[in-house]
Structure 1
Amino acid sequence: MHRRDVLRSAALASMAAAVLAVPLVNAPRGGAPELDIEALLFDPQAPTGGNPKGDVTIVAFFDYNCGYCRKSAPALARLISEDRGIRIVYKDWPILAESSVVAAQLALAANYQGKYTLAHTTLMGLKGSLTAERMSAALEKAGIDRKRLAADLGSHAHEIGDLLKRNNELAQALGLPGTPVYLVGPYKVAAALDYQGFRDVVADARARAKDK
């Protein structure tokens, strides 16, 4: 088995053990959707960052209108830049406002330019009302091709919509109470974290992996 396959299997096993051990909350009537661990960690349409072969995977559920998400974003970005052993999976989960949906669509459309991380950082840094025009202008100023962004929004609308639907189903299956939520190795953190908080939970995840 190749090292990449070993890491993938280890990540799946670790995450499965974690989420299955956590009781569901706020489950919809009729029961929550079945959790797909493969989709949670390796959805081919979900943007990723950091080291694809990292020993710790962070799955981040967030909303661009979430103040706590914005507060934690710089600390998480710093962690990823400094810790070369982290792989991050971005799960856009727009639940707070209609503008949250527009923001998520814009960020995911930027991924077709290979600039999702830039779009994510830019949108997380915006304060105040998130209008479509303001967000588009900010992305253009950051270096994202606005015409191509609009074209990709149209031509990939179906794929983007399906991805957001899958993210919502995963959040429901996990019983997430809101944003932000960070799945860090075997740990589920439903709270804003500062830089040291992220470092601590990553260290705990690594220590737990060594103990097995």
Structure 2
Amino acid sequence: MHRRTVLLGLTALIGARLATRVRADDLSAEMILNDPDAPVSGNPKGDLTIVSFFDYNCPFCKRTVEPLNTVLASDGDIRHVYKDWPILAKSSIYGAKLALAARYQDRYEDAYSALMRIDGSGISEGRMQQELERAGFDMKRLEADAKRHDAKIVSLLQRNNAQAESLGLRGTPVFLIGQFLVASALDEAGFRQVVKDAREAS
């Protein structure tokens, strides 16, 4: 499917609120790096920030989870910002909303990890529910949280989408590592090299 078709579908699937006006400030480097509603892991005071744009139906994104986590754990001085960008399927939006709802239980990373462990693409909502339950989530509570915080979650997805568009991104995964934009499924060595390059360039 052509990317433009996917993004137009995203607007329709998330709802009319996604099409509301995006403020210029939402597209700033400051908001891309420090959106207060975007989940963050790693060292919140790290000397380098990695921003990840991803989709739960992207098999290439899933390949990067373990290597990036290894680098974050061993380095200890990297801040990681998650940008849920559900552009591949309707279930991507469902998964993103549930993962972001898990943040209200302080369990975003648990939900992210559970959804990223599912092999392949075209994942059904039912399969996502199964994996989240296996990770210890009460689905009734999680879906209630998603409904309760829907406006805020949709607003975040709107900003993520607008930021991706402003950066000219064409798909997932994409990593902003310091001043470098990397549209590739990096392995551990790849992450370490770009991290090294970003620190040297700063």
Give TM class, smaller chain. 0.7 to 0.9
Match of 2:165 among 168, 172, 175: 172
1:188 and 1:76 mapped to 2: Cα distance?
Answer: 15
2:138 and 2:184 mapped to 1: Cα distance?
Answer: 34
Superposed CA RMSD = 1.8
Out of 84-93 and 200-209, give the one that drifted further: 200-209
Counting matched residue pairs gives 180
Query: What is the CA distance between 1:133 and its match in structure 2?
Result: 2.1
Match of 2:92 among 57, 80, 100: 100
Out of 66-75 and 85-94, give the one that drifted further: 66-75
Match of 1:155 in 2: 148
Match of 1:189 in 2: 182
1:43 and 1:149 mapped to 2: Cα distance?
Answer: 23
Indicate if the aligned counterparts of 2:48 and 2:199 stay in contact, CA closer than 8 A. yes
Query: What is the CA distance between 1:143 and its match in structure 2?
Result: 2.0
Query: What is the CA distance between 1:110 and its match in structure 2?
Result: 0.8
Match of 2:119 in 1: 127
Q: Does 1:56 align with 2:63?
A: no
Query: What is the CA distance between 1:151 and its match in structure 2?
Result: 1.2
TM-score w.r.t. structure 2 length?
0.84
1:50 and 1:152 mapped to 2: Cα distance?
Answer: 25
Indicate if the aligned counterparts of 2:59 and 2:119 stay in contact, CA closer than 8 A. no
Residue identity in the other structure for 1:141: R
TM-score w.r.t. structure 1 length?
0.80
Residue identity in the other structure for 1:106: L
Secondary structure of the 1:78 match is helix
Query: What is the CA distance between 1:66 and its match in structure 2?
Result: 0.8
Query: What is the CA distance between 1:137 and its match in structure 2?
Result: 2.0
Query: What is the CA distance between 1:88 and its match in structure 2?
Result: 0.5
Indicate if the aligned counterparts of 2:48 and 2:178 stay in contact, CA closer than 8 A. yes
Indicate if the aligned counterparts of 1:115 and 1:144 stay in contact, CA closer than 8 A. no
Kindly name which structure, 1 or 2, has the bigger radius of gyration based on alpha carbons: 1
Unpaired runs of at least 5, structure 2:
8-22
Match of 1:144 in 2: 137
Secondary structure of the 1:182 match is strand
Unpaired runs of at least 5, structure 1:
1-25
Match of 1:8 in 2: none
Give the share of equivalent positions with the same residue, in percent: 52
Query: What is the CA distance between 1:155 and its match in structure 2?
Result: 0.2
Match of 2:58 in 1: 66
